[in-house]
Chains A and B, each alone.
Chain A
């Protein structure tokens, strides 16, 4: 993580405080004691942390978020009264599909409304678009009248890159904390790889094994092999799944990880942590982007015949139904892949780092890396809310992103923790299997914490040089819509890769007035 964008006090670190355990215990002991509400708490002195947590007893917060397992898990924990017991604050959690959530939040925030005190801020589709309407959290981190972040605000407490992705956009204002994560990993049917490895080797000259040096070209050959088998026996799955369906952002992520694998190619010449309101000309249209699209088209040709209708959720359904042998997927889906009721599930899937770039598809001399991208969900405060609401909302943020709640969320709903320490909780650490790089790399279940099977791959994938954070630009949703539409046209046979890259370039540059 670049220190350039950390607030000056971040490097100091904050003392690790007794957080949920101690605070909750103290809160219980103090239950029934008088509580303080109203404005002016910023200047008050509290006897202990328990009082700080209770200072907004009786308030109500509204949190608008996505309808994914991590938020469902938080909702379940909130609904059973954990946060209310600690703070006396009621929290209403509203869940929607991400585009609907964004639409509601954007309308509210842009019009100065306060319908939502807390907003789920997916880094690119949400934060990039409405970053200016969120409260700067830096003063809260220095406020002695508020409980502080467990483990402090520093990169050591969180997974690599998460803090950068969730905290900033366009300035050094700290506008959110990492709340959940969807990181790409490569999921494949270990049972089929073992079954057909010899047959594959006879044809392609090397065994069908997956590891950190497996390239996208290898994946293409694996997929070709599976499709050949499928042509003879419909019981064998198709090769590889892609994310081409309705949701434009996941299509952009699908091509982004392939392009980044080859010379760490990025869409704009900007810093991905901060993003830019004026990103300038796009790199789409250059030779590397054309080669990347050629590879993507080749993968599409070895995908399922219905690939154009499969978005992220649908491709997971297809994998679960045993229709696909391999898929790059977000790690939060491991819980469903491990469901023994599914044809493709129940200990058959191995989870590994995304494939590496292949020199055949590299233009020039760049590095070949295991391009891994993500959607890091932050949690942010509506700047238009009243001072008391914002301070109460801050309490919820540090509670919801705490180690104990994230660990509990993983147990309750298969959440996707953002704190590295969750992976060090003994039973979760055990569920991950052997550390990455010590033998077989792909983790195979079954496991009581299915998502933990992906953590070894996530740890390596989301670290440098593999992680690509993606561009934060105000017109991000228009940008991904252009990319997805043109790639769909290419896959449908309406355009070749070169024309597709140029069409994207033309439209994106026009979008940004270049």
Chain B
């Protein structure tokens, strides 16, 4: 706290009349105004316009009037079975991807932490992450291909796949896309968790070992509480990415077969930019945005709660 108050120039050590004297309140608004205007232009105006669009049948031609349709887009959306199916598919995809990425990423980070070739291994592991998602999707489309795909051939050779194909099966296609996401983004989680692991107090770890705790117990009792913040950042980032993802799906399946991989962002894209139903697309986009914000807020609150409640933090550490 002392650092913060010093920064505001109110600690006893700072001369209120010196160069670090506080800015008078009357200047705050004019100084903030340019940034606020810029922010408004970049985000608030489109957001308000999105709400406006959701109540209109949007005309694209210049000068073409938008037709006010009241709650038509909204009522259509809530009675649209594909909309709800797409939410279901998105939920399955996001939860499974996130659980796998966080689980595997944490495991990888533990294995890498202080290993002999840590830096080299991290560099190698990060390579998938450097690839544009759409390129990754196209690459995996070739790997999954039922005619010449390498992974298809391996799975068939191992007897794990019958004569059907990976992307041609409504039962498997979604999980095949989950695998691509896990391949590409688990390294990011590993990197974030690894940075958290570097902050785990070594004295506490050593004390835990001295007390006879094994590696698993030491991890859960000492390391895990210390990396919870990092894990939350990883969860937040991966959730926000997964709920908006579209690249892998467009490249791999386009939402098929039989709509089995038509997640909500893909449905939104289809309505807005294939069929140009911009009003309807806007109402779908708003619900997607709302869920993203609510979940993000939930995670951030949990994070802030931990930061502001050291007693609880200590309890967790005990």
Contact = CB atoms under 8 A, between A and B. Distances in A.
A and B from one complex: yes
Interface of A: 99, 102-103, 106-107, 110-112, 244-247, 304-310, 314, 317-318, 321, 323, 475, 477-478, 481, 484-485, 488-489, 491-492, 494
A307 B164 CA distance: 8
A140 to B, nearest CB: 24
Nearest to B146: A306
Contacts of A310: 146, 168
B170 interface: yes
Interface in B214-273: 253-254, 256-260, 270, 273
A291 B154 CA distance: 39
List 4 tightest A-B contacts by C-beta distance, closest first.
Answer: A309-B168, A306-B165, A306-B146, A305-B163
B61 interface: yes
26 contacts: A110-B276, A111-B62, A246-B253, A305-B163, A306-B163, A308-B165, A308-B256, A309-B257, A310-B146, A310-B168, A314-B145, A314-B147, A317-B148, A318-B147, A321-B148, A478-B275, A484-B256, A485-B256, A485-B258, A485-B259, A488-B257, A488-B258, A489-B258, A491-B257, A492-B260, A494-B258
B60 interface: yes
A246 B256 contact: yes
Contacts of B274: 99, 102-103, 477, 481
Interface residues of B, number: 28
Given A477-B274, A481-B270, A492 B146 contact: no
Contacts of A112: 61-62
Given A99-B274, A110-B60, A323-B147, A305 B165 contact: yes
B168 A307 contact: yes
B146 A309 contact: yes
Contact of B146 (A304, A478, A494): A304
Contacts of B109: none
B11 interface: no
Contacts of B273: 103
A475 B254 CA distance: 19
Interface in B48-86: 60-62
A306 B165 CA distance: 5
Contacts of A491: 257-258
A317 B60 contact: no
Contact of B60 (A111, A308, A314, A484): A111
B161 to A, nearest CB: 10
Given A314-B147, A492-B258, A306 B60 contact: no
A181 B259 CA distance: 30
Given A308-B165, A309-B253, A321-B147, 11 more contacts: A110-B276, A111-B62, A247-B254, A305-B163, A306-B164, A307-B168, A314-B145, A321-B148, A481-B270, A492-B257, A494-B258
A245 B256 contact: yes
B169 interface: yes
A494 B260 CA distance: 11
A245 B167 CA distance: 10
Interface centre among B166, B168, B259 (most CB of A within 10 A): B168
Contacts of A110: 60-61, 276
Interface string B126-164: 000000000000000000011110000000000000111
B64 to A, nearest CB: 9
A309 B61 contact: no
A197 to B, nearest CB: 26
A310 to B, nearest CB: 7
Nearest to A318: B147
A238 B217 CA distance: 56
Nearest to A111: B60
A106 B276 contact: yes
Contacts of A494: 170, 258
A492 B170 contact: yes
Contacts of A106: 276
A151 B168 CA distance: 48
